[in-house]
Amino acid sequence: DTEVTQTPKHLVMGMTNKKSLKCEQHMGHRAMYWYKQKAKKPPELMFVYSYEKLSINESVPSRFSPECPNSSLLNLHLHALQPEDSALYLCASSVRTSGLGTDTQYFGPGTRLTVL
Amino acid sequence: AQSVSQHNHHVILSEAASLELGCNYSYGGTVNLFWYVQYPGQHLQLLLKYFSGDPLVKGIKGFEAEFIKSKFSFNLRKPSVQWSDTAEYFCAALNYGGSQGNLIFGKGTKLSVKP
């Protein structure tokens, strides 16, 4: 089973709202990722968690706040977003981020976010 | 900086035609290479991957890709496409021993197969 689940599937929020995206995997993977994908563009890496610790933050604005409460869960907290933040937010996981390069990333279905 | 280039933005084929999508990467060290597919309205799915060994890699749904180190290429092929292959195809590279989790995607190639 290579399933990564994400909730909600769709989210509409105003610029003053606070919301959270949730990602879950039960494959025993210790690396989890957040990507942002705009229409007709490839995914762009936002954050990487390795063994529940943030290991990469790709200069993402502070209005996006990731959290990894345990090895199976990854959250993305959203606050004071802008309309240009509207996109598909993808979660992925892999066995690890050892740098050995043998770790395939498996993607969830994404949350389609619209900021009004 | 590393990059992945996909030469074709949009490819239109008729059913049963052969497919080859180009992918080149720019990284001198060891890389791990992937092809992902995104069907309309669906999430990214792994088609195939190359880590080491036989440079001809077979994936799901009849796809294959060939790693040619001297050309820094990892082209995707399928002998006979079907209408159901209509999708966006992304080539990606994960550098070996570099930044953790740094999967670099190409810009994608949209494949439209006419029935």
What is residue A55's predicted lDDT score, i.e. its pLDDT?
83
Distance between alpha carbon A43 and the CA centroid of its chain, in Å? 11
Mean pLDDT of chain B: 90
Of A43, A97, A107, Cβ closest to residue B101: A97
| Residues B38/B45, Cβ–Cβ less than 8 Å | yes
Reduced to 3 states, what is the DSSP secondary structure of residue A116? Answer: coil
Q: Name the minimum distance, in Å, from the CA of B13 to any CA of chain A.
A: 20
- Per the CB < 8 A criterion, the answer to whether A43 and A36 are in contact is yes
Interface contact A104-B101, CB threshold 8 A: no
Please state, as a whole number, how many other Cβ atoms lie within 10 Å of the Cβ of residue B83. 11
Contact at CB, B44 and A56, closer than 8 angstroms: no
Least confident range from A8-12, A83-87, B99-103: namely B99-103
Write the pLDDT tens digit of every residue in B8-38: 999 999 999 999 999 999 876 777 899 999 9
Residue B108, C-beta contacts closer than 8 angstroms, at least 6 positions apart: A40, A41, A42, B6, B38, B88, B89, B90
Q: Which residues contact B57 (CB under 8 A, 6 or more apart)?
A: B48, B49, B50, B64, B65, B66, B67
Per-position DSSP letters for B8-60, written without gaps between them = -SEEEEETT--EEE--EEE-SS-EEEEEEEE-TTS-EEEEEEE-SS-SEEE-G
The pLDDT value given to residue B88: 95
Whether the Cβ atoms of residue B21 and residue B37 lie closer than 8 Å to each other: no
- Angstroms from B27 CA to nearest CA on chain A: 14
Q: How far away is chain B from the Cα of A89, in angstroms, using its nearest Cα? A: 11
- pLDDT tens, A25-38? 999 999 899 999 99
Higher-confidence residue of A104 and A74: namely A74
pLDDT digits (tens, 9 = 90+) for A56-70: 788 899 999 999 999
Instruction: Give the pLDDT score at A39.
Output: 87
User: How many Cβ pairs closer than 8 A exist between chain A and B?
Assistant: 68
Average confidence (pLDDT) over B36-56: 91
- The confidence score (pLDDT) of residue B52 equals 85
Whole-angstrom distance, CA of residue A36 vs CA of residue A110? 9
Check if A101 contacts B (Cβ < 8 Å).
yes
A42, A55, A103: residue with CB nearest B105: A42
Which residue of chain A has the CA closest to B89?
Answer: A42
Please state whether the peptide bond connecting residue A8 to the residue before it is cis, i.e. omega within 30 degrees of 0.
yes
Chain B residue with CA closest to A101: the answer is: B96
Among A50-59, A82-91, B42-51, the range scoring the smallest mean pLDDT is A50-59
CB contacts of B100 in chain A (<8 Å) are: 31, 48, 50, 55-56, 97-99
Inter-residue contact B78 to B85 (CB < 8 Å): yes
Among A41, A103, A110, beta carbon nearest to B43: A110
Q: What is the pLDDT of residues B63-79, one digit of tens each?
A: 999 999 999 999 999 99
Contacting B residues, span 34-93, partner chain A, CB-CB under 8 Å: 34, 36, 42-46, 49, 51, 90
